[in-house]
Amino acid sequence: MDELSLNLLDIVQNSIHANATLITINVIDHQQMNCIGFEVIDNGCGMTDEQVSKVIDPFYTTRTTRTVGFGIPFLQQLADETDGELKLSSVLNSGTKLSLKLKKDNIDVPVMGNLADTLFTIIQANQTIDFYFKYLDDVHEFIFDSKEIKEILDGVDINSPEIILWIKDYIKEGLKNEIT
Amino acid sequence: MKSLEDLKKLREQAQDRMTMRMDEEQKYRVVVGMATCGIAAGARPVLNALVEEVAKTKAPAVVLQTGCIGMCTLEPIVEVFDKNNEKTTYVLVDALKAKEIVEKHILKDEVIDEYTVGKYKK
Ligand SMILES: Nc1ncnc2c1ncn2[C@@H]1O[C@H](COP(=O)(O)OP(=O)(O)O)[C@@H](O)[C@H]1O
Ligand SMILES: [Mg+2]
């Protein structure tokens, strides 16, 4: 039931929470390279080195609630247990980069899951933030650049019925994994 | 295969309609909790179902996302605000219930008592 795409959504929410105005998301799901994971780069409030080391500590959070299977410490633990790699680097007042690379053939590594729903969820709500999203698998690449979309829309609300339904299908189609 | 050219045509359609329906579209605000607790409990399919259903039926509502609503064990939570800012809180929502909320509450102004927080707090 676990989906890395849900963890991605959670990590992107951190960037939004950090008041980022530009978020770059790279996702890979590549059989041949035996690699599954994502990278989220933002220009938000950033963290000090001390904060970064606390954040990867499983008992630390600035929130009062802890949800099993989520947050940066969980990803750290997942990477440790599956011979994968989590990198977190941050510069205060400048931005943060989180990169998670896991081995696709490890049985404890979750599947990507519904990445289209994750991207759609992000795009639907945060129209003042620019997203540059790039997906790569064995057979194709899909890029979703919210700046490009906004330019075309020229002030029209992305949540207008026909627009948002089109975006939904566009994302679904773009992320369709063609390996059978 | 969809291309961004299609989007340009749709924009024109949306522009025409926007000037006509601006007022009615704001009749309800539908807010989904999308913090970690919400995401873990299944808020993502709820959000996706709400947005799709509202768009498909052209329901008079905007769908918004928020952080933690403060009742993590009752997530996914959907709050419906009417024009007077009166709030109805739906808890433990799933994609099917989300559709029903649009069909009944948003389109017919009927509150679904069964799914409201009052039912669970008793
Ligand atoms: N992109 C980011 N920019 C700035 N601070 C961040 C970022 N991501 C995480 N943090 C900080 O690290 C903390 C821990 O993050 P996380 O593990 O996701 O738990 P939570 O978001 O529930 O606090 C956050 O509360 C925040 O203070
Ligand atoms: Mg978080």
Q: Where are the domains of chain B?
A: 24-115
Model pLDDT, residue A180: 44
Of the candidates A41, A36, A137, A40, which has an alpha carbon nearest to the alpha carbon of residue A84? A36
What gap in Å lies between CA A169 and CA B86, rounded to an integer? 34
Q: State mean pLDDT over B59-75.
A: 92
Model pLDDT, residue A168: 96
pLDDT tens, position by position, A91-135:
999 999 999 999 999 999 999 999 999 999 999 998 899 999 999
Give the rounded percent of residues in chain B with a pLDDT score beyond 90: 72
A22-30 and A130-137 strand pairing? parallel
Q: Which of A33-42, A130-139, A151-160 has the lowest mean pLDDT?
A: A151-160
Q: Which of A82-86, B3-7, B79-83 has the lowest mean pLDDT?
A: B3-7
- In this structure, is the dihedral angle defined by the CA atoms of residues B109, B110, B115 and B119, taken in order, positive or negative? positive
B61-66 and B28-33 strand pairing? parallel
A130-137 and A141-145 strand pairing? antiparallel
Instruction: Kindly report the number of other CB atoms within 10 A of residue B84's CB atom.
Output: 6
Q: What are phi and psi of A20, to 5 degrees?
A: -65, 150
Question: Cβ neighbours of residue B22 under 8 Å, at least 6 residues apart?
Answer: none
Looking at per-residue confidence, does B80 or A178 come out higher? Answer: B80
What is the pTM for the complete model shown?
A: 0.93
DSSP B96-121: HHHHHIIIIIIHH----GGGBHHHHH
The atom of ligand 1 lying closest to the CA of A65 is 22
Burial of A121 (0-12, 13-18, 19+ CB in 10 A): buried
Residue A42, pLDDT > 90, answer yes
- List the A35-42 sheet strands across, edge first: A85-91, A95-103, A35-42, A22-30, A130-137, A141-145
CA angle, corner B29, sides to A9 and B37, nearest 5?
A: 30
Q: State mean pLDDT over B71-81.
A: 95
What gap in Å lies between CA B93 and CA A129, rounded to an integer? 28
What gap in Å lies between CA B9 and CA A146, rounded to an integer? 18
Which CATH architecture is the domain B24-115 placed in?
Answer: 3-Layer(aba) Sandwich (3.40)
Q: Which residues 20-39 of A have a C-beta within 8 angstroms of B?
A: none
Looking at per-residue confidence, does B47 or B122 come out higher? Answer: B47
Looking at per-residue confidence, does B16 or A77 come out higher? Answer: A77
Model pLDDT, residue A65: 60
Residue A81 DSSP symbol: H
Q: What are phi and psi of A25, to 5 degrees?
A: -125, 120
Q: State mean pLDDT over A54-80.
A: 79
Which ligand is located closest to the Cα atom of residue A88? 1
- Chain B: closest CA distance from residue A85 (Å): 22
A-B Cβ pairs (cutoff 8 Å, strict): 102
The atom of ligand 1 lying closest to the CA of A42 is 1
Strand, helix or coil at A63?
coil
Half-sphere exposure of residue B23: CA atoms within 13 angstroms, side-chain side:
1
Q: Are the C-beta atoms of A71 and A10 separated by less than 8 Å?
A: yes
Closest C-alpha to ligand 1, atom 16: A71
Model pLDDT, residue B59: 94
Q: Which of A49-53, A96-100, B109-113 has the lowest mean pLDDT?
A: A49-53
Model pLDDT, residue B46: 98
Output Rg (C-alpha) for chain A, integer angstroms.
Answer: 17
Q: Are the C-beta atoms of B43 and B33 separated by less than 8 Å?
A: yes
Question: Is there an atom of ligand 1 within 6 Å of A96 CB?
Answer: yes
pLDDT tens, position by position, B15-48:
877 665 555 557 999 999 999 999 999 999 999 9
